[in-house]
Structure 1
Amino acid sequence: MTTAAPATLPDRQPTLRVAAMPSDANYTGDIFGGWLMGQVDIAGSIPAVHRAKGRVATIAVNSFVFKQPIFVGDIVSFYTRIVKAGTTSVTVDVEVFVQRDPENPTCLKVTEATLTYVAVGEDRKPRPLPPQE
Protein backbone atom coordinates (compact mmCIF):
# COMPACT_ATOMS: atom_id res chain seq x y z
CA MET A 1 0.00 0.00 0.00
CA THR A 2 1.15 3.48 -0.77
CA THR A 3 0.90 6.49 1.47
CA ALA A 4 -2.49 8.09 0.95
CA ALA A 5 -3.07 11.79 0.59
CA PRO A 6 -5.31 13.26 3.28
CA ALA A 7 -8.97 13.30 2.32
CA THR A 8 -12.09 15.09 3.48
CA LEU A 9 -15.36 13.43 4.36
CA PRO A 10 -18.13 13.72 1.77
CA ASP A 11 -20.56 16.59 2.29
CA ARG A 12 -23.45 14.36 3.38
CA GLN A 13 -24.36 12.18 6.33
CA PRO A 14 -22.66 8.79 6.55
CA THR A 15 -24.85 5.71 6.27
CA LEU A 16 -22.92 4.09 9.12
CA ARG A 17 -20.21 5.23 11.53
CA VAL A 18 -18.36 3.01 14.01
CA ALA A 19 -15.21 3.05 16.14
CA ALA A 20 -12.67 0.32 15.37
CA MET A 21 -12.18 -1.64 18.59
CA PRO A 22 -9.42 -3.96 19.85
CA SER A 23 -11.68 -7.00 19.36
CA ASP A 24 -11.78 -6.16 15.61
CA ALA A 25 -7.97 -6.23 15.24
CA ASN A 26 -5.16 -8.69 14.81
CA TYR A 27 -2.23 -8.81 17.24
CA THR A 28 -0.45 -5.92 15.49
CA GLY A 29 -3.43 -3.57 15.82
CA ASP A 30 -4.62 -3.65 12.20
CA ILE A 31 -8.34 -4.16 11.75
CA PHE A 32 -9.27 -7.48 10.13
CA GLY A 33 -10.33 -7.19 6.50
CA GLY A 34 -13.23 -9.55 7.22
CA TRP A 35 -14.57 -7.18 9.87
CA LEU A 36 -14.43 -4.32 7.39
CA MET A 37 -16.13 -6.41 4.70
CA GLY A 38 -18.97 -7.18 7.11
CA GLN A 39 -19.41 -3.51 7.98
CA VAL A 40 -19.39 -2.56 4.28
CA ASP A 41 -22.11 -5.15 3.66
CA ILE A 42 -24.21 -3.73 6.50
CA ALA A 43 -23.77 -0.16 5.22
CA GLY A 44 -24.56 -1.13 1.63
CA SER A 45 -27.68 -3.02 2.66
CA ILE A 46 -29.23 0.04 4.31
CA PRO A 47 -30.03 2.00 1.11
CA ALA A 48 -30.87 -1.29 -0.64
CA VAL A 49 -33.48 -2.13 2.02
CA HIS A 50 -34.97 1.36 1.72
CA ARG A 51 -35.15 1.12 -2.08
CA ALA A 52 -36.58 -2.42 -1.95
CA LYS A 53 -38.95 -1.47 0.87
CA GLY A 54 -38.12 -4.74 2.57
CA ARG A 55 -35.74 -7.63 2.87
CA VAL A 56 -32.69 -7.92 0.62
CA ALA A 57 -29.95 -10.49 0.24
CA THR A 58 -26.37 -9.80 -0.84
CA ILE A 59 -25.82 -11.53 -4.18
CA ALA A 60 -22.49 -10.10 -5.32
CA VAL A 61 -19.46 -8.21 -4.17
CA ASN A 62 -18.63 -6.67 -7.52
CA SER A 63 -15.46 -4.96 -6.35
CA PHE A 64 -13.64 -4.40 -3.09
CA VAL A 65 -10.41 -2.42 -2.81
CA PHE A 66 -8.47 -2.05 0.45
CA LYS A 67 -6.50 1.18 -0.01
CA GLN A 68 -5.11 1.76 3.49
CA PRO A 69 -5.16 -0.09 6.82
CA ILE A 70 -7.58 0.74 9.61
CA PHE A 71 -6.26 0.89 13.18
CA VAL A 72 -7.78 0.43 16.61
CA GLY A 73 -9.33 3.74 17.65
CA ASP A 74 -10.07 4.96 14.12
CA ILE A 75 -13.54 6.36 13.56
CA VAL A 76 -14.75 4.56 10.44
CA SER A 77 -17.42 6.24 8.27
CA PHE A 78 -19.30 4.48 5.47
CA TYR A 79 -20.88 6.54 2.68
CA THR A 80 -23.25 4.83 0.28
CA ARG A 81 -24.91 5.62 -3.02
CA ILE A 82 -27.27 3.54 -5.14
CA VAL A 83 -25.74 3.35 -8.61
CA LYS A 84 -28.23 1.02 -10.28
CA ALA A 85 -31.67 -0.43 -9.66
CA GLY A 86 -32.88 -3.26 -11.87
CA THR A 87 -36.02 -5.37 -11.81
CA THR A 88 -35.14 -7.16 -8.56
CA SER A 89 -31.64 -5.91 -7.72
CA VAL A 90 -29.97 -2.82 -6.30
CA THR A 91 -26.27 -2.02 -6.77
CA VAL A 92 -24.63 0.18 -4.15
CA ASP A 93 -21.24 1.93 -4.04
CA VAL A 94 -19.67 2.19 -0.59
CA GLU A 95 -16.78 4.52 0.25
CA VAL A 96 -15.04 4.13 3.60
CA PHE A 97 -13.11 6.88 5.37
CA VAL A 98 -11.28 6.95 8.69
CA GLN A 99 -10.64 9.80 11.06
CA ARG A 100 -7.71 9.23 13.37
CA ASP A 101 -5.47 10.92 15.90
CA PRO A 102 -7.67 13.56 17.59
CA GLU A 103 -4.57 15.56 18.60
CA ASN A 104 -3.48 15.82 14.96
CA PRO A 105 -6.68 14.99 13.02
CA THR A 106 -6.24 13.03 9.82
CA CYS A 107 -8.89 11.79 7.41
CA LEU A 108 -8.14 9.06 4.84
CA LYS A 109 -10.18 7.16 2.30
CA VAL A 110 -9.39 3.53 3.11
CA THR A 111 -11.76 1.37 1.06
CA GLU A 112 -14.08 1.38 -1.95
CA ALA A 113 -16.59 -1.35 -2.74
CA THR A 114 -19.56 -2.08 -4.94
CA LEU A 115 -22.15 -4.65 -3.88
CA THR A 116 -25.38 -5.93 -5.40
CA TYR A 117 -28.43 -6.91 -3.37
CA VAL A 118 -31.61 -8.63 -4.52
CA ALA A 119 -35.03 -7.89 -3.07
CA VAL A 120 -36.54 -11.06 -1.58
CA GLY A 121 -39.97 -11.95 -0.26
CA GLU A 122 -40.89 -13.91 2.85
CA ASP A 123 -40.16 -17.07 0.85
CA ARG A 124 -36.63 -15.68 0.31
CA LYS A 125 -37.10 -15.77 -3.45
CA PRO A 126 -36.42 -12.70 -5.64
CA ARG A 127 -39.27 -10.23 -5.94
CA PRO A 128 -39.64 -7.11 -8.07
CA LEU A 129 -38.56 -3.77 -6.64
CA PRO A 130 -41.52 -1.50 -5.96
CA PRO A 131 -41.91 1.57 -8.18
CA GLN A 132 -39.67 4.42 -7.11
CA GLU A 133 -41.54 7.29 -5.46
Structure 2
Amino acid sequence: MNRPETAPVLITVAPYDQATPRGAILGGWIMTQLDHAAGLAGRKIAAGEALILSIKEMTFRSPLHPGEEFAVHAGLTRRGGSSFNLGVSGWAEPEGACRLVFEADVLLVAVDAEGPSRKLP
Protein backbone atom coordinates (compact mmCIF):
# COMPACT_ATOMS: atom_id res chain seq x y z
CA MET A 1 0.00 0.00 0.00
CA ASN A 2 1.29 3.45 -0.88
CA ARG A 3 0.96 6.52 1.30
CA PRO A 4 -1.91 8.78 0.13
CA GLU A 5 -0.83 11.64 -2.10
CA THR A 6 -3.04 14.12 -0.25
CA ALA A 7 -1.55 16.23 2.53
CA PRO A 8 -1.67 14.66 5.98
CA VAL A 9 -4.33 15.92 8.38
CA LEU A 10 -1.97 15.55 11.33
CA ILE A 11 1.80 15.22 11.71
CA THR A 12 3.49 14.53 15.03
CA VAL A 13 6.43 12.64 16.52
CA ALA A 14 5.86 9.42 18.47
CA PRO A 15 6.74 10.19 22.10
CA TYR A 16 9.25 8.15 24.07
CA ASP A 17 7.02 8.12 27.17
CA GLN A 18 4.29 6.21 25.30
CA ALA A 19 6.39 3.15 24.45
CA THR A 20 5.86 -0.38 25.70
CA PRO A 21 8.76 -2.35 27.24
CA ARG A 22 9.24 -3.95 23.80
CA GLY A 23 9.77 -0.52 22.22
CA ALA A 24 6.52 0.02 20.30
CA ILE A 25 4.18 2.96 20.84
CA LEU A 26 1.01 2.11 22.77
CA GLY A 27 -2.09 1.47 20.65
CA GLY A 28 -4.10 3.88 22.80
CA TRP A 29 -1.80 6.77 21.86
CA ILE A 30 -2.17 5.85 18.18
CA MET A 31 -5.97 5.73 18.55
CA THR A 32 -5.90 9.19 20.13
CA GLN A 33 -4.11 10.50 17.03
CA LEU A 34 -6.78 8.84 14.85
CA ASP A 35 -9.44 10.65 16.93
CA HIS A 36 -7.74 14.03 16.46
CA ALA A 37 -7.24 13.53 12.71
CA ALA A 38 -10.79 12.29 12.09
CA GLY A 39 -12.14 15.28 14.04
CA LEU A 40 -10.07 17.76 12.03
CA ALA A 41 -10.98 16.20 8.68
CA GLY A 42 -14.62 15.76 9.74
CA ARG A 43 -15.01 19.46 10.60
CA LYS A 44 -13.93 20.42 7.10
CA ILE A 45 -16.31 18.01 5.40
CA ALA A 46 -19.22 18.89 7.73
CA ALA A 47 -18.45 22.64 7.62
CA GLY A 48 -18.86 22.58 11.40
CA GLU A 49 -18.86 20.13 14.26
CA ALA A 50 -18.81 16.40 13.53
CA LEU A 51 -18.72 13.52 16.00
CA ILE A 52 -17.36 10.02 15.61
CA LEU A 53 -20.19 7.48 15.79
CA SER A 54 -18.01 4.44 15.33
CA ILE A 55 -14.68 3.16 14.24
CA LYS A 56 -16.08 0.43 12.05
CA GLU A 57 -12.75 -1.24 11.50
CA MET A 58 -9.21 -0.52 12.60
CA THR A 59 -6.24 -2.67 11.72
CA PHE A 60 -2.72 -2.21 13.03
CA ARG A 61 -0.23 -3.09 10.27
CA SER A 62 3.19 -2.40 11.83
CA PRO A 63 4.63 -0.95 15.02
CA LEU A 64 5.37 2.72 15.50
CA HIS A 65 8.59 3.47 17.36
CA PRO A 66 9.48 6.40 19.64
CA GLY A 67 10.99 9.33 17.78
CA GLU A 68 9.47 8.42 14.41
CA GLU A 69 7.55 11.05 12.52
CA PHE A 70 3.91 9.99 12.35
CA ALA A 71 1.57 11.31 9.67
CA VAL A 72 -2.18 10.64 9.66
CA HIS A 73 -4.17 10.94 6.43
CA ALA A 74 -7.97 11.00 6.08
CA GLY A 75 -10.15 10.87 2.98
CA LEU A 76 -13.89 10.81 2.36
CA THR A 77 -15.10 7.33 1.35
CA ARG A 78 -18.88 7.73 1.73
CA ARG A 79 -21.22 10.70 2.05
CA GLY A 80 -24.81 10.48 3.28
CA GLY A 81 -27.37 13.08 4.32
CA SER A 82 -25.85 13.83 7.72
CA SER A 83 -23.23 11.12 8.14
CA PHE A 84 -20.08 10.22 6.26
CA ASN A 85 -17.18 7.79 6.38
CA LEU A 86 -13.49 8.57 6.37
CA GLY A 87 -10.69 6.22 5.45
CA VAL A 88 -7.97 7.08 7.96
CA SER A 89 -4.41 5.78 7.81
CA GLY A 90 -1.31 6.42 9.90
CA TRP A 91 2.20 6.30 8.47
CA ALA A 92 5.60 6.17 10.13
CA GLU A 93 8.03 8.26 8.14
CA PRO A 94 11.52 7.64 9.48
CA GLU A 95 14.29 9.25 7.41
CA GLY A 96 12.37 9.50 4.13
CA ALA A 97 10.97 5.96 4.07
CA CYS A 98 7.36 5.31 4.98
CA ARG A 99 5.50 2.40 6.56
CA LEU A 100 1.78 1.86 7.13
CA VAL A 101 1.06 1.70 10.87
CA PHE A 102 -2.76 1.48 10.84
CA GLU A 103 -5.81 1.90 8.67
CA ALA A 104 -9.39 2.48 9.78
CA ASP A 105 -12.92 3.13 8.53
CA VAL A 106 -14.47 5.85 10.69
CA LEU A 107 -18.17 6.85 10.66
CA LEU A 108 -18.95 10.45 11.65
CA VAL A 109 -22.11 12.57 11.85
CA ALA A 110 -22.51 16.33 11.44
CA VAL A 111 -24.12 17.94 14.50
CA ASP A 112 -25.46 21.38 15.33
CA ALA A 113 -24.60 23.49 18.39
CA GLU A 114 -27.16 21.71 20.58
CA GLY A 115 -26.00 18.22 19.55
CA PRO A 116 -28.65 16.79 17.19
CA SER A 117 -27.54 15.65 13.76
CA ARG A 118 -27.85 18.08 10.87
CA LYS A 119 -27.64 17.82 7.10
CA LEU A 120 -24.25 18.04 5.46
CA PRO A 121 -23.68 21.12 3.32
> Do they superpose with TM above 0.5?
yes
Match of 1:126 in 2: 117
Mean alpha-carbon deviation: is it higher for 10-19 or for 68-77?
A: 10-19
Mind listing any 5+ residue stretches in structure 1 that lack a counterpart? 1-6
Cα distance, 1:8 vs structure 2: 5.3
Is 1:84 the counterpart of 2:75? The answer is no
Match of 1:35 in 2: 29
For 1:42-90, what per-residue CA distance to the aligned partner results, in whole angstroms no more than 9, with x for missing partners?
1122221111111111101011000101110111111110011111112
- Match of 1:64, SS state, is strand
- Match of 1:125, SS state, is coil
Residue type at the aligned position of 1:15: V
Distance 1:61 1:118 in 2: 12
Match of 1:64 in 2: 58
Cα distance, 1:118 vs structure 2: 0.7
Distance 1:47 1:129 in 2: 14
Residue type at the aligned position of 2:20: N
Query: Which of 77, 98, 101 pairs up with 1:110?
Result: 101
Say if 1:52 and 1:19 are closer, same or farther in 2 by CA, change over 3 A: same
- Match of 2:93, SS state, is strand
Match of 2:19 in 1: 25
Say if 1:117 and 1:8 are closer, same or farther in 2 by CA, change over 3 A: closer
Residue type at the aligned position of 1:126: S
Computing the radius of gyration from Cα coordinates, the structure with the larger value is 1
CA contact (8 A) 1:17 1:75 kept: yes
CA contact (8 A) 1:76 1:99 kept: yes
Distance 1:10 1:49 in 2: 20
- Count of aligned positions: 121
Mind listing any 5+ residue stretches in structure 2 that lack a counterpart? none
Residue type at the aligned position of 1:14: P
